[in-house]
Chain A
Amino acid sequence: MARLLVAFLVGAGFSLGLGISEMTQPQTIIQFLDLGAASWSYKLLVVMFAAVTTYGLLLKLMLRRAKPVLAPRYMIPTGRELTKPLILGSAVFGVGWGLSGLCPGPALSTLNTGAARPLLFIATMTLGMWLQGRYTQAQEARQARAARQDNANPNAQAA
């Protein structure tokens, strides 16, 4: 129960922060990303700076604890490899972000308005996530099949 409460409060806090800083307004995002905008704004950078600094400092303090308060261990990604999916996937995400002025957090924060755009965005975003999942699954199945065939016929590669 405590874990659910924490997750809920973190989600709510995130929404409030996004809202107070007006990152929930697609216009604010586009005013930063559109370099030709007459009313170009660096607001996004200020918000990012404040959020990153706060998170970084708190992280340094709290990692002195051996483990999280309500979980057995920290789950922090340790990978350092710069892969093609990381770079190209992020670039595709950026194009969607720059076209719509929305990313997952702000879209969820503004769902309550009942307006068409956040709703539509969440719907097609979910579809995109699902399609990516299907693609990855199919890819893994193909690789597993190929590996089995190689094992069954070790001379195939030499030929």
Chain B
Amino acid sequence: MHDLTLSLLGGVIIGGAAAGLMLFKGRIAGISGIYSGLLTPKPSDTAWRVAFVLGLILGGLALRVIHPAALQDTLLRPLWVVALGGLLVGIGVRFGSGCTSGHGICGLGRLSRRSIVATLSFTLSGMAAATLYAWIGG
């Protein structure tokens, strides 16, 4: 299938899945928020978070059959860069109340003012970081 068709199809599936969570559970499909809720577990609020994260992990397993190219990492950043990146992502998404899914997809989809600003913020700083990193000679 053509690259563009796959991009559109993938996007529609992501949007549809996020809408499913709102239709059935009335929740925003923010991956960082659902995941970080597991760090402060509350009895009636934990099982669905675990199920969601398991779905993400096992859905990834299915990609081995459906679209193996998805699981290739051709960037291979140095491990310390990945570790630092993860740390900054963890701190940033909690102060910023969301990531690419919660702000970028769900927030923009409902035209939330806070999410539009957050998405602009992380896209611009992401561009600055990636461009500078390449420029310095990563």
Measured CB to CB, the residues of A under 8 A from B are: 2-27, 30, 33-37, 43, 46-56, 58-59, 62, 65, 67-77, 79-82, 85-105, 107-113, 115-117, 120-133, 136
Minimum Cβ distance to chain A for residue B118 (Å)? 4
Minimum Cβ distance to chain A for residue B137 (Å)? 12
Asked whether A96 lies within 8 Å of B15 as measured between CB atoms, the reply is no
Within 67-101 of B, Cβ neighbours of A (below 8 Å) are at: 67, 69-77, 79, 81-101
Interface of B is mostly: helix
Q: Mark B115-126, 1 if CB is under 8 A from A, else 0.
A: 001110111111
Residue of A nearest to B16 (CB): A54
Choice from A22, A34, A93 contacting B10 with Cβ under 8 Å: A22
Q: Which residues in A have their C-beta under 8 angstroms from that of B88?
A: 92-93, 95-96, 99, 128
Asked whether A95 lies within 8 Å of B51 as measured between CB atoms, the reply is no
Cα A98 to Cα B134 with chains together (Å): 10
Best-buried of B81, B93, B133 by chain A (most CB within 10 Å)? B93
Residue of A nearest to B48 (CB): A7
Interface of A is mostly: helix
Provide 15 A-B residue pairs closer than 8 Å at the C-beta atoms, listed in order of the A residue: A8-B51, A11-B51, A22-B70, A33-B130, A33-B131, A36-B135, A51-B12, A58-B19, A85-B95, A104-B32, A104-B99, A112-B60, A121-B82, A121-B89, A124-B85
Asked whether B90 lies within 8 Å of A129 as measured between CB atoms, the reply is yes
Asked whether A52 lies within 8 Å of B15 as measured between CB atoms, the reply is yes
Cα A116 to Cα B78 with chains together (Å): 11
Starting from the known contacts A12-B55, A51-B18, 18 additional A-B residue pairs (CB-CB under 8 Å) come to A3-B48, A6-B24, A6-B25, A12-B56, A13-B17, A21-B14, A47-B10, A48-B104, A50-B8, A54-B16, A56-B15, A75-B27, A81-B114, A94-B124, A94-B125, A100-B81, A104-B101, A117-B79
Q: Which residues in B have their C-beta under 8 angstroms from that of A90?
A: 92, 95-96, 98, 103, 117-119, 121-122, 125
Q: A54-B12, A100-B82, A102-B82 are in contact. Are A112 and B61 (CB under 8 A)?
A: yes
Residue of B nearest to A101 (CB): B75
Residue of B nearest to A42 (CB): B7
Residue of B nearest to A56 (CB): B109
Asked whether A89 lies within 8 Å of B96 as measured between CB atoms, the reply is yes
Residue of B nearest to A68 (CB): B26
Asked whether B7 lies within 8 Å of A112 as measured between CB atoms, the reply is no
The 4 closest A-B pairs by CB, nearest first: A128-B90, A11-B55, A21-B10, A50-B11
Asked whether B53 lies within 8 Å of A108 as measured between CB atoms, the reply is yes
Q: A8-B55, A99-B84 are in contact. Are A71 and B24 (CB under 8 A)?
A: yes
